[in-house]
Amino acid sequence: GTPAGAWPPPPPPPAVPSYAQGAGAGSTWGASYAAQHPEGPKPAGRRGGLIAAVLVAALVAGGIGGGIGFWAAERNDDATDSTTVSASDTPADLKREPGSVAGIAHKALPSVVTIEAQGGNGEGGTGTGFVYDTQGHILTNNHVVASAADGGKLAATFSNGKKYDAEVVGRAEGYDVAVIKLKNRPADLKPLRLGNSDRVAVGDSTIAIGAPFGLSNTVTTGIVSAKDRPVTSSDGASSKSSYMSALQTDASINPGNSGGPLLDSRGAVIGINSAIKPAESGGGLGGSGQSGSIGLGFAIPVNQAKYVAEQLIKNGQAVYPVIGASVSLGEDTGGATISQEGASGSQAVTPNGPADKAGLKPGDVITTLDDTVIDSGPTLIGQIWTHKPGDKVKITFERDGKERTVDVVLGQRKGES
């Protein structure tokens, strides 16, 4: 599914420890992917059954249209002045160009799966994933499989209708990336080619494949409408948030698209579709509080997703780069302010950590990281997580009205704690 909710998210109280330090949560974007609950739709605010409502509405509308069309045709049976022109029959052997949307979709669809997650308590839903390697690993979002991570059930269905049981290999909540593995995998798996998200340009064509509202094998198109967009999201079921410096696209993305590939014009994966900005409150489909696409979708850059996936496959857990300081998670505060204290009264600046070694102190306001303007704590976290432990970054901050710049060598934190 695709997290959705208010934009920007309501800020938590100031001086909450940064999740980059393994402490607190960020802002929530509301309910996650659409799911049909076995006991019927749930109340708003929980994962609900939108699929049936949407399809029923579509069928009713289709019935009305069909009825009107039949009535009009019946009244014009004797008319002889038709101005319609029939096109010549499409050749049975018509071949689409390999670089066309149809050609790319035809090649990519067999490598995209619809994921069904079912938790032990009945929670669950539908999302998307794609074949990562020939060993049966599927790359997707953490929030797609989280409900089935502890004793639940996972299944992946290919475009040819074949369904396979799967198990979780590893999850990274902060990155919102997960890897699952097919049981009894087929021998003819074809991994999707991975592109280079660092070389993506605004205006590049995009193709998204997924299962919006459970409608598997859906293909939509658009462009990259922005890069390095700071996004904080949550599936509404966890106290922890995900932070990304996202690719923004206007390709239609809805609940159920999460975990699916965002492709470039060559058919290479440039991102994992993960979140949307929904319509304002009350604009959801079916009255359940889940909104549809308004042309603002966000994808995890594939370079970052690949780095995380390799860690999960190798070690079962992710490694996060950190600066060793807790920051306020308030939005649009003019910078990332280092908190006065950390989680549970701990020190906001870790003694002998990266920030401490660089001379940073509580109250300092970080305004840039390398060439990127930092306007809030979540933006800082998202930018730090585009790096790796051991990378050197240049941080500019303000203290007592004066601007200073220091080099910080990033430390690391393993796992989600």
Report pLDDT for 236. Answer: 56
Whether 223 maps to a domain, the answer reads yes
Active site residue 258: yes
Report pLDDT for 238. Answer: 57
The pLDDT tens digits for 332-375 are 678 999 998 776 667 899 999 999 999 999 999 999 999 999 99
Whether 131 maps to a domain, the answer reads yes
Which of the four pLDDT bands, split at 50, 70 and 90, describes residue 11? very low
What is the extent of the structural domain holding 395? 319-414
Catalytic residue among 18, 27, 111, 143: 143
Query: CB within 8 A of 32, min separation 6: which ones?
Result: 1, 2, 3, 47, 125, 143, 235, 236, 237, 255, 258
φ/ψ (deg, to 5) at 53: -60, -45
Whether 112 maps to a domain, the answer reads yes
Whether 90 maps to a domain, the answer reads no
Together in a domain, 125 and 254: yes
What single DSSP character describes residue 272? Answer: E
With 0-12 CB in 10 A as exposed, 13-18 as middle and 19+ as buried, what is 72? exposed
d(CA 341, CA 363): 10
Q: Say which CATH number the domain at 175 has.
A: 2.40.10.120
Looking at every residue in the chain, the average pLDDT score rounds to 80
Together in a domain, 172 and 123: yes
Together in a domain, 111 and 201: yes
Least confident window among 32-36, 74-78, 95-99, 341-345: 32-36
Active site residue 37: no
Least confident window among 65-79, 110-124, 197-211: 65-79
Report pLDDT for 343. Answer: 65
Together in a domain, 334 and 406: yes
Last residue of a domain, one of 260, 288, 317: 317
Whether 192 maps to a domain, the answer reads yes
Whether 244 maps to a domain, the answer reads yes
Per-residue pLDDT for 50 more than 70?
A: no
Last residue of a domain, one of 300, 317, 334: 317
State how beta strands 177-182 and 242-249 pair. Answer: unpaired
Together in a domain, 232 and 332: no
Per-residue pLDDT for 401 more than 80?
A: yes
Together in a domain, 260 and 338: no
This prediction has a pTM of 0.77
Report pLDDT for 2. Answer: 57
Report pLDDT for 51. Answer: 36
Which of the four pLDDT bands, split at 50, 70 and 90, describes residue 15? very low
The helix or strand, by DSSP H or E, that contains position 66, with its residue range, turns out to be helix 50-75
Together in a domain, 293 and 339: no
Together in a domain, 276 and 254: yes
Per-residue pLDDT for 63 more than 60?
A: no
Of residues 254 and 11, more confidently modeled: 254
Q: Say which CATH number the domain at 333 has.
A: 2.30.42.10
Query: What's the mean pLDDT in 30-47?
Result: 37
Per-residue pLDDT for 389 more than 80?
A: yes
Per-residue pLDDT for 64 more than 60?
A: no
Last residue of a domain, one of 301, 317, 333: 317
d(CA 342, CA 326): 6
Overall domain count for the chain: 2
Which of the four pLDDT bands, split at 50, 70 and 90, describes residue 78? low
Together in a domain, 209 and 103: yes
Strand partners, 414: 319
Together in a domain, 244 and 391: no
Query: What's the mean pLDDT in 94-123?
Result: 90
Together in a domain, 313 and 333: no
Together in a domain, 167 and 225: yes
Report pLDDT for 54. Answer: 38
CA 325 to chain centroid, in Å, comes to: 26
Give me the DSSP letters along 284-345. Answer: -GGGSS----SS-EEEEEHHHHHHHHHHHHHHSS-EEEE-SB-B---SSSSSEEBPSS-GGG
Catalytic residue among 111, 245, 252, 258: 258
Report pLDDT for 83. Answer: 74
Whether 27 maps to a domain, the answer reads yes
Whether 1 maps to a domain, the answer reads yes
Catalytic residue among 18, 111, 137, 176: 176
Judged by DSSP in three states, 50 sits in: helix
